[in-house]
Amino acid sequence: GFRTCILTNNWLDDSSGRFLTAALLARLRSHFDLVLESCRIGMAKPDPGIYSYALEALQAQPHEV
């Protein structure tokens, strides 16, 4: 009954090593219900809005996490 989430602080990677980052995130996605990347949602930790976004995406309340 638990939903799991990874909340990253990262950026869009256009370097030659981006394939390694993409492979890692793809592997993580198979183990978690949700992977939220700061570069894709436009907020970064410690902005409180990113945590509100994660709670909404998980359909959870603060006291549940």
- Whole-model pTM: value is 0.75
The answer as to whether 46 is a domain residue is yes
Two tokens, residue 63: 């006291």
63 DSSP 8-state letter = G
Quote the pLDDT of residue 23: 85
> How many domains is the chain partitioned into structurally?
1
| Residue at 63 is within a domain | no
DSSP characters for 15-59? STTHHHHHHHHHHHHTTSSEEEEHHHHT--TT-HHHHHHHHHHHT
Residue 65 lies in a domain: no
Question: Residue 33's domain is classified under what CATH number?
Answer: 3.40.50.1000
Specify if 22 maps to a domain. Answer: yes
CA–CA gap between residue 24 and residue 59 (Å, rounded) = 26
pLDDT, one tens digit per residue, over 10-60 is: 877 777 778 888 888 889 889 999 999 898 899 988 999 999 999 999 999
The per-residue pLDDT for 22 is 80
Q: Is 64 inside any structural domain? A: no
Domain encompassing residue 28: 5-58
Q: What is the pLDDT of residue 59?
A: 92
